[in-house]
Structure 1
Amino acid sequence: MGWLVRKKAVGAALFGLLMVAGCSSGGGSSSAPSASAPSGKASGAPAKPSPGDDKAATEAAYRKWGLKPFAAPPAPPAEKPVHGKPGEVPVVSDIPTKEKIVFVTFDDGAEKDPKFVDMMRDLKIPFTMFLTDDIIRGDYGYFKPLQALGNSIENHTLSHPNLRTLGEAAQKNEICTQEKKLGKEYGKAPGLFRPPYGNWNENTRAAAKSCDVRAMVLWRESMQISNMQYQRGDKKLHPGDIILAHFRGPKELKGTSMTEMTANMLRHIQEQGFTVARLEDYV
């Protein structure tokens, strides 16, 4: 029996050596998961944020500005609802829709408050800028971070004149030259145009068409300091309304900052049960 015991001991030793060799070999495999990399999860892979984390971050960003998060806007329509007559540039003050959405626009470009850039980066609210060259040429760069957030830069003439006082050739110069300037500065020629003061005539429409403008954009409400001015008698927002605001600072706003004015506007929108959509998705 002694030889049998010795044979079993030698066999056990050989089996142990083979197991050690197999574990140390780079080409070996094992059905057991590695202790350093749990099954189903790559070693060192960063954890993905949960929807709860995103919601908490959004709420914190809005709370910073004294606001509550907006509901997400509906998906834009497959076909844009604004159409002009054949050969004619449409003029719109609101967008045909039954959704409880409105559209926010900012004009001119006089106030260049860096806190407004921070605010829009935090809130991620879509808006459209209608800019005048005489007002922005000292600092074209201010508007680029706002554009980088996905907000388009559109045409508001070279010098902000009352276009009704100009002939068609002069109006064409105001619109077409600004198209070229904005295209050069911001990488894309505008498709939308807003006449200063909302004043226009058929010469304006003809000039805009010759400058490849696809629509002239007016408004239904205008934001002042803490309240809105309404065109309709019921003094309420309606689905598809376009809201006018301005790049204005404490001097024009009687001590109120642009971010405070914007927060006031957003509260009015939210209190009436609306959310904000992107104008360029509809025009």
Structure 2
Amino acid sequence: MKKTLALWAALTAVALFATGCAVADADTPAAPNAASVTPSSGDKASGAATPDQRAAAYAKWGLKPLPEPPAPPAKKPVTRAVGGPVPVVSDIATRDKVVFLTIDDGAEKDPEFVAMMRDLKVPVTMFLTDAAIRSDYRYFAPLVAQGHGVANHTLTHPNLRALSPEAQRREICGQQDKLAAEYGKRPRLFRPPYGNWNESTRAAAARCGVDAIVLWRESMQIKNMQYQRGDKKLHPGDIILAHFRGPSELKGTTMTEMTANLLRHIEEQGFTVARLEDYL
């Protein structure tokens, strides 16, 4: 099984990295099965801490504290109308100076990243691909318990536009079933691999119970951020794409160092991180 996963990673790494969807594999210590884990209060990845405690937690990872996020909006800016099409979003309409962190695939399983998220309590949404996570579903259990969101990124990470409507449905609904079985809840959010989708994707997502298709505005490339807009700045409500990158891609940088670089970009531009599911 390990040889098979390693071959899969090697064959897909180049194509996926070009589009911001690189995948690698790593062994990880055992963690409790996520289906038996109850998320933290309010299903959020934030908890009460004094300013001094927050400062100490961030300093441990070489960071300055991000501002506390505002209270979630009373009405979510993006909702799917009953019987209506699945919304497709790259950002969320808000005046709050917040951005949203999303992490794709799930091949790299660095236990230090779990510790970092526990310390910082920065909410993330994990768009997971079964082919990348099946080597150790249990790795994600502590992250689920911290309150981070679990979302759908297909079973095998194909280019959905090249598939028939029924094949797209199998990829999306199949991963809905897998994630529900492992983590106890069917995802509401879906991200198509490479950001490639068509109306068949949208229809399949609706049939599978998805409330929104989530794209992105910025992507984190180890040390630097790639921006879609010409001003190369964050904007309120932007969705940021990152990946569970492995050692071969990070080239001497760790998953936690990449995440620290990402958080520095956010802090330096005066933003903080909010929970995507509170707005969508």
- Structure 2, unmatched stretches of 5+, are 1-48
Deviation at 1:83, TM superposition (A): 3.2
How far, CA to CA, are the matches of 1:250 and 1:271 in structure 2?
27
Q: Give every structure 1 segment of 4 or more consecutive aligned residues whose post-TM-superposition deviation is greater than 4 Å.
A: none
How far, CA to CA, are the matches of 1:272 and 1:145 in structure 2?
30
How far, CA to CA, are the matches of 1:154 and 1:83 in structure 2?
16
2:258 match: 261
1:151 match: 148
Q: What is the correspondence of 1:88-99 to structure 2 with a 5 Å cutoff?
A: 88-99=85-96
User: Which is bigger in relative contact order (C-alpha 8 A, separation at least 6)?
Assistant: 2
Deviation at 1:87, TM superposition (A): 1.6
1:81 match: 77
Kindly provide the amino acid, as one letter, of the partner of residue 59 in structure 1: A
Mapped contact 2:98–2:274 kept (Cα < 8 A): yes
Deviation at 1:61, TM superposition (A): 1.1
2:168 match: 171
Kindly provide the amino acid, as one letter, of the partner of residue 215 in structure 2: L
Q: What is the correspondence of 1:173-252 to structure 2 with a 5 Å cutoff?
A: 173-252=170-249
When the two structures are superposed, what TM-score results if normalisation uses the length of structure 2? 0.81
How far, CA to CA, are the matches of 1:60 and 1:72 in structure 2?
15
**Cα root mean square deviation, aligned:** 1.1
How far, CA to CA, are the matches of 1:55 and 1:99 in structure 2?
21
How far, CA to CA, are the matches of 2:80 and 2:233 in structure 1?
27
How far, CA to CA, are the matches of 2:210 and 2:80 in structure 1?
12
Mapped contact 1:249–1:256 kept (Cα < 8 A): no
State the number of aligned residues.
231
How far, CA to CA, are the matches of 1:186 and 1:83 in structure 2?
24
Kindly provide the amino acid, as one letter, of the partner of residue 270 in structure 1: E
How far, CA to CA, are the matches of 2:247 and 2:254 in structure 1?
5
> Is 1:137 aligned to residue 134 of structure 2?
yes
Q: 1:79-136 CA deviation, whole Å, 9 max, x = no partner?
A: 1111356520000000000111000010000100000000000000001000000110
Mapped contact 2:79–2:211 kept (Cα < 8 A): no
Structure of greater Rg: 1
How far, CA to CA, are the matches of 1:235 and 1:94 in structure 2?
15
